């Protein structure tokens, strides 16, 4: 009995200690003030209406990294297209751009009428590049995929095999011209079947030093021109021609410059890939994600690519064609958890501010960085971050800076579906709530705009009463809509996201939940809690840049 009393007493003190730690953590949150400054005179960039994009890959279930096989049946060849969550998840964007490609795309043949290649599936072979043999896309599967894309309302970008006809040299380079025959047969089949393709992309990670192998800028530009000529011929009877996209590789200033110089007007979109967090096995990924200085490092890539496009006077625009943050399939409970929305939304904001038109997330499903869970198809936190961005952030990007906490990331766009602006605030600090005032060029802040709005409405009503007519309210009521995103139980590695304190999850039929804001008095600052993300719609701000 005495020993039982001692154990009970010990448990009681442990309980008190744990309770006190929770209490201390809860009460140690400090509150600071900050200001986001927005220049509303001119926009600094303009994104595509369908800026949000996600990828579907070719990796078979046998794809493993660091002893973990995270791809399951998420390949273009075996994905369950009948899953209702998958259909609803894509449909919710209306439309979602889908880029079909990835590492193995340059080892894919197409089972078409040319009959030159047997339609064999990928098999493990450690001696082959990327550890797999050549694979094949059966046309029956392409029919199934195309039917799904049409039903889901997706915009499809297809990555073509750019290594066809080339030989891999001893130095790792790929020599010879691109053999267009199999691709031509596949594209003609696609057109004859009436399948809509938003763009054709040539190759995956073959630019610069390449991954696995590489193609020179001179040869790649020649091949790109061949693709453009081919598409001009195949689509000559069509009302519109798909985009011509390349190179789908990591940014290399010299290679990209030479490629642009030689492609002339044959290129519509220049794509680059981003895995700036390093390998998925890195145990310090979260530290990098929460480090503002580390996040800032990728701005140079966006800035340099934008400057190269301007300097060559090309009509081609920049896209991020693939971005998973951490390469080799990401890291479980990091790149598929709440904390990754800090990196992802910051990337979307940063890319937009440098006039990147589209941003393709690796992946829609598959690996440890999917927007959807690879096994259950249930949306991961980043899915909801992407959907909110897609629905709220308009095409025009505003110059934004923040004064106050160094842990706040701030971005602003004109609102997408109504007047006013959208502000995105990301708090990387777990111990601080930031009360944010919004100020505009010329020194007008949110509170002043609030009072100005009141005066204008009062005058409008007075004039209406004098004329004995009802005033037509052009401006919404004096509130703003806010969307606060937090992790379940405050756990940054949770795969459950809360919107305004409510769990986001699909229902029993696989329906995507509605994303409903809270409404806040506009005279109050925007409160950004610890480790949280806030989208705030300020409807009564009418800036010149947003006209």
Instruction: Using the predicted structure, report yes or no on whether residue 376 has a pLDDT greater than 50.
Output: yes
Q: Which residues have CB under 8 Å from 251's CB, separation 6+?
A: 208, 272, 301, 304, 305
* Cα Rg of the chain (Å, integer): 26
Q: Over pLDDT 70: what percentage of the chain?
A: 88
Q: Which residues have CB under 8 Å from 254's CB, separation 6+?
A: none
Say what the pLDDT of residue 3 is.
36
CA distance 119 to 115: 9
Say what the pLDDT of residue 27 is.
57
- Phi and psi torsions of 108, nearest 5°: -100, 130
Q: Over pLDDT 90: what percentage of the chain?
A: 85
pLDDT category of residue 18 using cuts at 50, 70 and 90: very low
Say what the pLDDT of residue 547 is.
86
Say what the pLDDT of residue 42 is.
96
* 21-41 residue pLDDT tens: 222 245 589 999 999 999 999
CA distance 386 to 420: 21
Judge whether 434 and 33 are in contact, CB under 8 Å: yes
Query: DSSP E strands: which ranges in 65-119?
Result: 97-100, 108-110
Helix (H) or strand (E) segment spanning residue 55: strand 52-56
CA distance 100 to 190: 14
Instruction: Using the predicted structure, report yes or no on whether residue 278 has a pLDDT greater than 60.
Output: yes
Instruction: Using the predicted structure, report yes or no on whether residue 538 has a pLDDT greater than 60.
Output: yes
CA distance 14 to 508: 40
pLDDT category of residue 118 using cuts at 50, 70 and 90: confident
Say what the pLDDT of residue 113 is.
76
Instruction: Using the predicted structure, report yes or no on whether residue 7 has a pLDDT greater than 50.
Output: no
Least confident of 155-159, 177-181, 417-421: 417-421
- Shortest CA distance to 421 belongs to which of 399, 452, 447, 448? 399
* 232-274 residue pLDDT tens: 999 999 989 999 999 999 999 999 999 999 998 999 999 999 9
Say what the pLDDT of residue 444 is.
53
Predicted model pTM? 0.91
pLDDT category of residue 468 using cuts at 50, 70 and 90: very low
Say what the pLDDT of residue 417 is.
83
The predicted model gives 422-438 an average pLDDT of: 98
State the average pLDDT for the chain: 90
Least confident of 63-77, 349-363, 409-423, 458-472: 458-472
Say what the pLDDT of residue 530 is.
98
Say what the pLDDT of residue 541 is.
87
Q: What angle do CA 300, 306, 311 make, to 5 degrees?
A: 120
Say what the pLDDT of residue 449 is.
54
Say what the pLDDT of residue 445 is.
53
Residues with catalytic annotation? 205, 322
Question: Does a cis peptide bond (omega within 30 degrees of 0) precede residue 491?
Answer: no
Instruction: Using the predicted structure, report yes or no on whether residue 173 has a pLDDT greater than 80.
Output: yes
Say what the pLDDT of residue 115 is.
65
Say what the pLDDT of residue 178 is.
98
Number of residues that this document lists for the chain: 547
pLDDT category of residue 533 using cuts at 50, 70 and 90: very high
* 514-524 residue pLDDT tens: 999 999 999 99
Say what the pLDDT of residue 540 is.
86
pLDDT category of residue 437 using cuts at 50, 70 and 90: very high
Pairing of strands 533-538, 421-427: antiparallel
Say what the pLDDT of residue 447 is.
46
Say what the pLDDT of residue 365 is.
98
* 220-238 residue pLDDT tens: 999 999 999 999 999 999 9
pLDDT category of residue 11 using cuts at 50, 70 and 90: very low
């Amino acid at each position: 009995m005495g020993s039982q009393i001692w154990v009970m007493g010990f448990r009681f003190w442990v309980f008190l200690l744990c309770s006190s730690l929770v209490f201390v953590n809860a009460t140690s949150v400090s509150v600071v003030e900050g200001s986001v400054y927005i220049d509303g005179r001119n926009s600094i960039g303009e994104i595509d209406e369908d800026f949000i994009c996600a990828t579907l890959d070719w990796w078979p279930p046998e794809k493993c990294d660091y002893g973990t096989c995270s791809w399951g049946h998420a390949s273009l060849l075996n994905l369950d297209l009948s899953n209702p969550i998958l259909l609803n998840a894509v449909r919710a964007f209306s439309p979602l751009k889908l880029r079909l490609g990835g590492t193995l795309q340059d080892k894919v043949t197409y089972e078409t009428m040319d009959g030159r290649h047997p339609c064999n599936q990928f098999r493990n072979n450690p001696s082959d590049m990327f550890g797999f043999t050549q694979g094949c896309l059966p046309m029956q599967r392409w029919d199934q995929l195309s039917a799904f894309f049409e039903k889901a309302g997706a915009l499809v970008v297809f990555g073509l095999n750019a290594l066809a006809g080339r030989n891999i040299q001893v130095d790792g380079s790929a020599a010879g011209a691109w053999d267009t025959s199999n691709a031509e047969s596949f594209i003609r089949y696609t057109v004859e079947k009436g399948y809509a393709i938003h763009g054709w992309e040539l190759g995956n990670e073959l630019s610069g030093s390449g991954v696995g192998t590489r193609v020179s800028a001179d040869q790649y530009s020649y091949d790109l021109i061949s693709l453009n000529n081919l598409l001009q011929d195949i689509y000559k009877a069509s009302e519109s021609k798909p985009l011509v996209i390349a190179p789908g590789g990591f940014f290399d200033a010299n290679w990209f410059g030479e490629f642009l110089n030689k492609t002339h007007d044959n290129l519509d979109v220049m794509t680059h890939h981003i895995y700036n967090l390093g390998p998925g096995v890195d145990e310090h990924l979260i530290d990098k994600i929460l480090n503002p200085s580390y996040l800032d490092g990728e701005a140079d890539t966006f800035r340099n690519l934008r400057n190269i496009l301007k300097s060559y006077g090309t009509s081609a625009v920049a896209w991020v064609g693939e971005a998973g943050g951490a390469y080799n399939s990401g890291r479980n409970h990091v790149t598929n958890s709440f904390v990754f929305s800090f990196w992802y939304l910051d990337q979307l904001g940063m890319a937009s501010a440098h006039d990147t038109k589209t941003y393709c997330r690796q992946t829609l499903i598959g690996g440890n960085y999917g927007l959807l869970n690879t096994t259950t198809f249930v949306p991961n936190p980043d899915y909801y971050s992407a959907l909110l961005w897609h629905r709220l952030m308009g095409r025009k990007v505003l110059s934004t800076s923040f004064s106050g906490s160094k842990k706040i990331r701030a971005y602003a766009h004109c609102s997408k579906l109504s007047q006013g602006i959208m502000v995105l605030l990301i708090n990387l600090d777990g111990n601080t709530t930031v009360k944010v005032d919004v100020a505009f060029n010329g020194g007008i802040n949110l509170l002043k705009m609030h009072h100005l709005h009141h005066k204008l409405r009062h005058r409008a009503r007075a004039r209406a009463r004098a004329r004995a007519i009802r005033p037509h309210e052009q401006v919404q009521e004096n509130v703003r809509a806010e969307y606060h995103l937090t992790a379940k139980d405050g756990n940054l590695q949770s795969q459950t996201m809360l919107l305004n304190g409510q769990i986001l999850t699909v229902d029993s039929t696989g329906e995507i939940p509605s994303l409903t804001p809270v409404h806040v008095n506009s005279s109050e600052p925007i409160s950004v809690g610890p480790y949280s993300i806030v989208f705030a719609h300020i409807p009564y701000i009418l800036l010149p840049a947003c006209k």
